[in-house]
Homo-oligomer: A and B are copies of this chain.
């Protein structure tokens, strides 16, 4: 049996895991992402942690390293202009880790890594055509077509969060209007709740707590407890999300769409209306044929497992 190292680089922390062929994390390590203002020193520290983990687990031979990081480009092997990291410019992460560890290293962004995690170890096991959509602070996506990740011409495909679903809709962080992300992210959900709470005549926990204290988690819990306003918020959000997903289906016709990220803790409150609207908005021949599934990766380790899946997938396909 072969093992891989999966690394999840976040803005604050970097998580490292040694992962087996079934997607189980055998051993962990971590380091601070922010403690190294100079990229080279960060790579030194990261590579040290990788080698320590490997040397402490020699009975589990490691065949390669996968890394999920913000703005990581699979093609170039570089982190390109990531706004949430300390280091500026294009950073040759793949090359530098390979140089220091001697291990084949592959990088991609967090959403793509998560999609590969679902493909090898999660809800999309064995699927050749599917999409994974993250509903967190923003909306990200990783799309697989013909058994391959969709990287597009420059490595940055899969920006489902930035399809425009309403021409003059909400202002997005990207500077445009009406992006799916402005409605279907947790941020969008909270904004919808704040707007709706203002004009809502009935009682609701969302009004009681005060605008500034509304969180995604609170809305989810309120909806589960039967709060009508919270249910309306999910209905509105699900309609927008359903439209975006139906548009994705028209283009790539996945076997399933996997939802992932903070918002899926709302469970049925999110899935039931989203599935309904997705099918309403879907072209007749696709209706009720595309599965909508929750992620099956363990939340805390999903980033590590996804990154490890990238390494495993690439090495299995004979790439370097």
Residues of A within 8 A of B (CB): 128-129, 143, 145-146, 148, 150-154, 156-160, 162-167, 174-176, 243, 246-248, 250-255, 281, 283-286, 289-290
Secondary structure call for the A interface: loop
Of chain B, the residue at the smallest CB distance from A280 is: B176
B163 adjacent to A251 (CB under 8 Å): yes
Check A146/B143 contact, CB under 8 A, given A154-B253, A164-B243. Answer: no
* 24 residue pairs bridging A and B, Cβ less than 8 Å apart: A129-B157, A143-B251, A145-B148, A145-B157, A146-B150, A150-B252, A150-B253, A152-B253, A153-B253, A153-B254, A154-B253, A154-B289, A156-B253, A156-B286, A157-B253, A159-B283, A160-B251, A162-B250, A163-B247, A164-B165, A164-B246, A174-B284, A176-B281, A247-B247
Give the residues in chain B near A252, CB-CB below 8 Å: 143, 150, 152, 157, 251-252
Contact call A164/B251, Cβ cutoff below 8 A: no
B243-A167 in contact (CB<8A): yes
Given A129-B152, A158-B251, A253-B153, CB of A167 within 8 Å of CB of B164 = no
Question: Which residues on B sit within 8 Å (CB–CB) of A159?
Answer: 250-251, 253, 283
What is the distance, in angstroms, from A62's C-beta to the closest C-beta of chain B? Answer: 28
- State the oligomeric state as a number of copies: 2
A175: B residues at CB distance < 8 A: 284
Q: Is the CB of B251 within 8 A of A156?
A: no
A155 to B, closest residue via Cβ:
B253
The chain B residue with its CB closest to the CB of A141 is: B251
Shortest distance between the CB of A97 and any CB in chain B (Å)? 25
CB closest chain-B residue, reference A248: B251
Known: A145-B152, A253-B153, A253-B156. A162 touches B248 (CB 8 A): no
Residues of B within 8 A of A154 (CB): 253, 289
Which residue from chain B places its CB closest to the CB of A160 in the assembled complex? B251
Query: Which residues of the other chain, B, contact A255 by a CB distance below 8 angstroms?
Result: 153
Pick from A151, A156, A159 the residue with the most CB of B within 10 Å. A159
Complex-state Cα separation, A61 to B145, whole angstroms: 34
Q: Closest Cβ of chain B: how far from A133's Cβ, in Å?
A: 11
CB distance from A136 to the nearest CB of B (A): 18
Most buried by B among A175, A251, A283: A251
Besides A163-B250, A164-B246, 8 new A-B residue pairs in contact (Cβ under 8 A), listed by A number = A145-B146, A150-B251, A154-B253, A158-B251, A176-B281, A176-B283, A251-B251, A251-B252
Q: How far is the CA of A129 from the CA of B167 in the complex (A)?
A: 27
User: A101 CB to closest chain B CB, in angstroms?
Assistant: 28
Q: Please state if B145 and A150 are interface contacts (CB–CB under 8 Å).
A: yes
Contact status of A251 and B157, CB under 8 A, knowing A174-B283, A174-B284, A243-B164: yes
By a CB distance below 8 angstroms, the chain B residues around A128 are 153
Q: Which one, B160, B246, B254, contacts A152 given CB within 8 A?
A: B254
Report the bound CA distance from A132 to B283 in whole Å: 20
* Contact present for A285 and B247 (CB under 8 Å): no
A240 to chain B, nearest CB (A): 9
